[in-house]
A and B are shown apart, each in its own frame.
Chain A
Amino acid sequence: MPLDWIMGLAGGLIIGTAAAVYLLVNGQIMGASGIIGGLVDGSGRRDWMERGALIAGLVIVPAIAALMMGGAQTHLTTNWAVIIIAGLLVGVGTRLANGCTSGHGVCGISRLSLRGIVATAFYIGAGGLTVAIFKHALELI
């Protein structure tokens, strides 16, 4: 639907602006998995307040915006096994690869980083294949 595409483009511009501010002012790369992961495994203990503040903004502002919009939905599956396995895979995978959609995708591709481009090709490829198998072949999701 064209309205979804326009909202996608507008939302994308805001995400890119956020990443640009983080780079130009704080000199850092806005990668969600790196920012969160550094707090989880202790590798980012030195600047925990900055990481915490970013995560706070990331959680609080959509919460307020969703309330103002009259609610938002994630339409997440209700299959617990799928949720847990998917969460584990996303956590371990993004830390092993050192980046996710924001770090490798947005920040990496925009500087034409080969690592970012290859990572994005692999996670989109693996995601596409997973949906094809689990939705169409096995009909589990």
Chain B
Amino acid sequence: MRVMISFLVGALFGLGLLMSGMTDTTKVQGWLDVFGNWDPTLAFVMGGAIVPMAAAWRFTQGRKPVLAAAFPAPPEPRLGRNLVIGSTFFGMGWGLAGLCPGPAMASLSYGGVGGVVFLVAMLAGMLLAPPLRNRLDQQAVAV
């Protein structure tokens, strides 16, 4: 049952990404292009997505998930260096290509060879993250 729900969630997620135009890199780069022909679409997508999710978070209080023991723990208050460095790297890649992980997956069937190459590079980057995280943590201890 949880597997079926996961498929349904992925299906809705993908449909929403395609419909909103977020698998079109020109729309994403247009949002980031504040000095050029700025495109506000992404703000509408983000805003539209946050509304049902905010209601869902509110609904979790004092309840349990239908098919799980507990809701995720509250977010860690500590920010940390990895969050800032990682998000900066991510933003640079996002700006360069106009793709983030969700749309990179959703556009796999129509993104051409370039889309596949991006995805493979992204997966390779994900493999590089754990050793890099260890290194950064060791450095932080040394300092």
Give the interface of A toward B (CB within 8 A). Answer: 4-30, 32-33, 36-37, 40-41, 47, 49-51, 53-63, 65-66, 71-78, 80, 82-98, 100-102, 104-111, 113-116, 118-120, 122-132, 134-136, 141
B52 with A95: CB separation less than 8 A: no
Which one of B72, B89, B103, B120 has the greatest number of beta carbons of chain A within 10 Å?
B89
Can you list 8 pairs linking A and B with CB atoms under 8 Å apart? A25-B67, A59-B14, A87-B117, A87-B125, A89-B89, A90-B122, A123-B94, A126-B87
- Give Cα A129 to B106, complex, Å: 26
Smallest CB–CB gap between A113 and chain B, Å? 4
Residues of B within 8 A of A36 (CB): 101, 105, 123, 126
Measured between beta carbons, the chain A residues less than 8 angstroms from B2 are 25-26, 47, 50
A59 pairs with B109, CB closer than 8 A: yes
- Which residues between 1 and 48 of chain B lie within 8 Å of chain A, taking CB atoms? 2-27, 29, 32-36, 39-42, 44-48
In contact, B6 and A50 (Cβ under 8 angstroms): yes
Number of A-B contacts (CB under 8 A): 489
- Where chain B touches its partner, the secondary structure class is helix
Collect the chain B residues with CB atoms within 8 Å of residue A11's CB.
15-22, 45, 48
CA A127 to CA B47, docked complex, whole Å: 19
For the complex formed, measure the closest distance between the CB of B107 and the CB atoms of chain A, giving whole angstroms.
Answer: 5
Residues of chain B lying within 8 A (CB to CB) of residue A116:
75
Interface residues, chain B, with chain A CB atoms under 8 Å away: 2-27, 29, 32-36, 39-42, 44-57, 59-60, 64-72, 75-77, 79, 82-112, 114-115, 117-130, 132-133, 136
Residue contact A40 to B123, C-beta cutoff 8 Å:
yes
Q: Known contacts A74-B24, A126-B88: does B83 contact A98 (CB below 8 Å)? A: yes
- Complex CA–CA separation, A86 to B118 (angstroms): 7
B52 x A20 contact (CB < 8 A): yes
- Whether the pair B23, A32 counts as a contact (CB closer than 8 A) is no
**New contact pairs (13) apart from A41-B129, A53-B3, A123-B87, CB-CB < 8 Å:** A7-B21, A10-B20, A16-B49, A18-B13, A19-B49, A26-B68, A37-B129, A76-B25, A76-B115, A77-B114, A101-B100, A123-B88, A128-B32
Given contacts A66-B109, A123-B94, contact A128 B34 (CB under 8 A): yes
By CB atoms of chain A within 10 A, which of B17, B90, B119 has the most?
B90
Q: Is B114 touching A83 in the complex (CB atoms < 8 A)? A: yes
Which 3 residue pairs are nearest across A and B when measured between Cβ atoms? Answer: A91-B125, A12-B48, A11-B20
